[in-house]
Amino acid sequence: MQTITPEEFFTDPTWRSHVLLDVRSPGEFAKSKLPAAQSLPLFSDEERAKVGTLYKQKSPDAALLEGLDIAGGKMRQLVELARQLATGNRVVVHCWRGGQRSGSVAWLLERAGMEVVKLAGGYKAARRFFRRYLAEDRHELRVLSGPTGSGKTPVLLAMRQRGANVIDLEGLANHKGSAFGAIGELPQPTSEEFENQLFAAVRAIPEGEVVWLEDESRLIGHVCFSDEFYGRLISAPVVVLDQPLEWRVNRLVELYGAYPKEALGQSFERIRKRLGGQHLKAALEAMEADDYATAARIALVYYDKAYQHYGDRRKATILRSVVAEDPSPDRMAVQVLASVKG
């Protein structure tokens, strides 16, 4: 049976017609998965735990026999599901580290007439490749920066519509990046899952091209960047968006004003220490009075100080400071792209 490395699978177009099958347990798959992988679990979470316990507490042979007992009754089900997932009958199979689980399923699917390849080293080896790839300067990163409320994400998305290569980090993280960033978003992925999807987004862009990203702190909610990629992000050249305070206030009111006051209040509580008791009280009172603009101005007092402090520490070169002529994301996108043209 043929074996390929993660680098071969994710970079060689030869394998695009093959479906990637993850035979780890549902819990492992839910925590983090390789890009485009489909779940074909050999064991349930409970079965995996039982086999693992036998391996540690009794013997590898006892674990093997238990695994065979469990898997024996699932063989038809595994083949049928694999055929549904890979209608072209070409698959690449992986487990945690390319061991017995992927070997067993690969053998079974090959016996069933499928074209089967094993991923050497499994999920663990793929993760090592992803981190190495993201640490390398295969693309020219550029960062769009600006204080909270600048509308950087909508501007980046407008730049994408105009042909720029853009990776929406906050979209991948399901978080808008501040203490208020989880409001209205889906649950966040694990940092590992975020990094897997970041690899897929970067890999989809031809090497050597410019890639635009948003200026971020090390954490987006609870998602954390790897040291290697974050080092590249904070040292990449920056274009700064400069615009009137009132535009930023209006944008925050539009973005958050429709959400429940309770959720907004909880977010203000998270920055109590940095905001100060009096400012917090004033912000909460303003919200109760439906004066969201005043509450936003109070929040920006803290966030503007934090942005200034962060800017003083980062190592990046400021390419341009773009003074926005219009509050619309598309107009700002045009300005940003024009500022770096040529």
Give the residue numbers marked as catalytic: 95
Q: What share of the chain is helix, strand, coil (3-state, %, to 5)?
A: 55, 15, 30
- Give the three-state DSSP class for 5: coil
Angle made by CA atoms 267, 270, 276, in degrees to the nearest 5: 110
C-alpha distance from residue 35 to each of 25, 151, 167, 213 (Å): 17, 29, 15, 20
- Of 108, 99, 51, 45, which Cα lies nearest the Cα of 78? 108
Contact 88, 59 (CB under 8 A): no
Distance, CA of 118 to CA of 95 (rounded, Å):
9
Contact 216, 186 (CB under 8 A): no
Virtual CA dihedral for 140, 141, 142, 148, nearest 10 degrees? 180
Helix (H) or strand (E) holding 262: helix 261-270
Distance, CA of 331 to CA of 156 (rounded, Å):
11
